[in-house]
Amino acid sequence: MHSIGIPLTYRRLPEQEVDTPWTEAEPAAPAIAVIAGVALSLVMIAVAAFLV
């Protein structure tokens, strides 16, 4: 039951965290998430470049 309950709660929590702050700007939330993902990837590439 724990192996089933943990993924379900893990899937439900992010949705609630995303919906509550972006209730007024739900269409913009996916775009912000994509931009944040790209920014994080660029930061990781920059850090890797400095380390190498």
Query: What pLDDT was estimated at residue 45?
Result: 92
Q: How many domains does the chain have?
A: 1
At residue 32, the pLDDT reads 77
Better-scored residue on pLDDT, 32 or 50: 50
What contacts 19, CB < 8 A, 6 or more positions away? Answer: 26
pLDDT at 50 over 60: yes
pTM: 0.41
d(CA 46, CA 50): 6
CA angle centred on 4, ends 29 and 13, rounded to 5°: 25
Q: Which residues contact 5 (CB under 8 A, 6 or more apart)?
A: none
5-36 per-position pLDDT tens digit:
444 444 454 555 555 554 555 566 677 778 88
Which domain range does residue 8 map to? 2-51
Euclidean distance between CA atoms 48 and 40, whole angstroms: 12
Q: Provide mean pLDDT across the span 32-42.
A: 87
